[in-house]
Chains A and B, each alone.
Chain A
Amino acid sequence: MTQPPAITVESLSHCYGERVALDDVSCEFARGSICGVLGPNGSGKTTLFSILSSLVPTQSGQVTALGFDLRRHATEYRQQISVTFQAPALDRRLTVQENLLHQGHLYGLSGRVLAERSGELLEQFRVADRTGDIVDTLSGGLKRRVELAKCLLHDPQLLLLDEPSNGLDPGARHDLWQCLEELRAERGTTIVVATHLMEEAERCDALVLLDAGKVVASGSPSELRNEIPGETISIIASQPETLQQRIRESLQVDVRRTGELLRIQQEDCQTLLHELVDRFSGDFKTISLGKATLEDVFLARTGHRLAGDEQ
């Protein structure tokens, strides 16, 4: 028997006054996987995240998570999940230990069980030597680790993370993702990540792409990438507008521009690449050839980029 999905969202719509934040969204998140909700700012992913974390009640549609109908069993559901927001939900005036203690109490843990569990987790996240330190004195990366330890105290089945890499340097990001992957592998925790970063989306097992409150695509990163055949040439130029114009005129190909980045997409780019290098070698800083990225998928589905507008 196949396992039921951890979360099933059916025809979910949500409005803030006149503005529609989610428009008939349906999607599923498989149990024991890392799922990403990818979309630009304003795509509705924060609203979806708030509904999944039970902060915002469902207006219309149905959300079933971990077997609970969120409309009716929010309290039982909350006992099974953990949420991390963009800003670490730690009390910065308290010590690491005190933060874990309060969290444990909120979830009904106390005494020896709580002490042992927090000890284990602080050890696992390599912050055991900072237990007595005031949270304010920790770096952003350490705060994230403390927060993860705090979130896992009650052994949640579902972990929701909103832009988890926010404010983290590349090293700390790498660290965080390693922790998440370990968690999925060792405990089978379902992890849902809301993000607007390609790099994070690529590390997910499955993705839901949101734009303007609608689901525009869903599937694993490789499935999504395979939707777009052919290859992509990316060029970074110092005078992108002029170069875009010149390439279009001389080679008759479709060139898209975002900032200083030019992209050309077609079935076979090998010959074109040689031609570009021969003719315009002095006009670009870098040129590269690759398969389609999630960014290209998003672009193909919506007509605009995840960040910034296509020109």
Chain B
Amino acid sequence: MTRDAALQFAEHTPAPRGGRATWLGIWTLTRREMVRFVRQRSRFAGALAQPVMFWVLFGAGLHGSFKAPDWALGEMSYQEYFFPGIAVLILMFTAIFSSISIIEDRHEGFLQGVLVSPLPRWGLVIGKLLGGTLLALMQAALFLLIGQAMAAAGLAPAMSTDLSILNITLLLVFMAVVAFSLTGLGFIMAWKLDSVQGFHAVMSVVLMPMWLVSGAFFPAGETGFLAWVIRSNPLTYGVAGLRRLMYSGESPLPVSGALPSLGVCLAATFLFAALTLTGSVLVSRQTVSSKSPRSASKRK
């Protein structure tokens, strides 16, 4: 097309799109995640009530057979050990469930609507991931509050955790990064999958085991193959980081091979978040239109 021809179209052209428009798009996608969550109360029950039940029931059931790890300070009940693990489980469940909405969005056509909008793909990813992160963070924080309240009220064994204002702030930031990385992981998988059932399958063979061998459910040994699996699992550093931040007051937990230092936890968790974000942006550049059930069937 000639320059003249292009100029003829320019008369309609609105002002060039700036960074503000992109952030407005990101904010709107984040906000949509929140509103959708509030409208689906069952998600709340699944993501918060189930882990709380796990905590109470497993805590009571396994209390007798639990041997506190070497790094524990004095007496540590199973419920106290399990406490940060459950917080990470909540982060995982919520983060993952908000990734599933990618599949629903695609089937309902909403995703295509966003893909043909001027919002860049990285904006779509950030919007989606921030939504999942905020939801996960709110619920995990609520759990920490409920757990502390139950322990204080005598409904759960007493815990020697030390939660000052500074600790709580650090905990929230750290949990946000863990949630962001898990939502990113969910995003990468959901983008590739075409059905919610497929996602559930992936969840039970990849995500749940990942959580089980993160030191959330049982302490890692110092040696043996399981110790290596646990050490190479990025979530291990999420659980350990959370655990450390809960005790970092006057009597921090001692450093051992099975419980990495806070620095290592922070580095590993931020790296994991950066990797899943990069992965999400890369997969989001792949075409998804052919996965739309209607257009796919039409092309046969």
Contacts and interface: CB of A to CB of B under 8 A. Distances in A.
Contact of A94 (B14, B21, B32, B117): B32
B114 A88 contact: no
B64 to A, nearest CB: 46
A81 interface: yes
The residue among A55, A57, A82, A162 with the most chain B CB atoms within 10 A of its own CB is A55
Nearest to A8: B1
Contact of A79 (B14, B113, B115, B294): B14
A93 B43 CA distance: 14
Interface string B9-20: 110111001101
A41 B299 CA distance: 6
B298 A46 contact: yes
Nearest to A108: B21
B17 to A, nearest CB: 6
Contacts of A53: 116
Interface string B105-117: 1011110111111
B262 to A, nearest CB: 39
A66 B251 CA distance: 67
Contacts of A89: 108-110, 112-113
Given A4-B5, A105-B24, A106-B119, A87 B108 contact: yes
Interface of A: 3-4, 8, 16, 21, 41-42, 46-47, 50, 53-57, 64, 66-69, 75-76, 78-83, 85-94, 98, 101-103, 105-108, 110, 154-155, 157, 162
Given A55-B287, A94-B32, A83 B112 contact: yes
A138 B191 CA distance: 29
Contact of B118 (A66, A69, A78): A78
B109 A85 contact: yes
A3 B109 CA distance: 34
8 closest residue pairs by CB, A with B: A108-B21, A89-B113, A105-B28, A67-B6, A4-B5, A89-B109, A87-B109, A67-B9
Contacts of A50: 289, 295
A48 to B, nearest CB: 12
Contacts of A67: 1, 5-10
B300 interface: yes
Q: Is the interface of B mostly helix, strand, loop or mixed?
A: helix
Nearest to A154: B14
B40 interface: yes
A76 B6 CA distance: 13
A62 to B, nearest CB: 10
Contacts of A88: 109
B157 interface: no
24 contacts: A3-B8, A4-B8, A41-B299, A56-B289, A67-B9, A68-B6, A75-B17, A76-B118, A83-B112, A86-B294, A87-B292, A87-B294, A91-B108, A93-B36, A94-B36, A102-B31, A103-B117, A105-B28, A106-B117, A107-B118, A108-B20, A108-B25, A110-B24, A155-B14
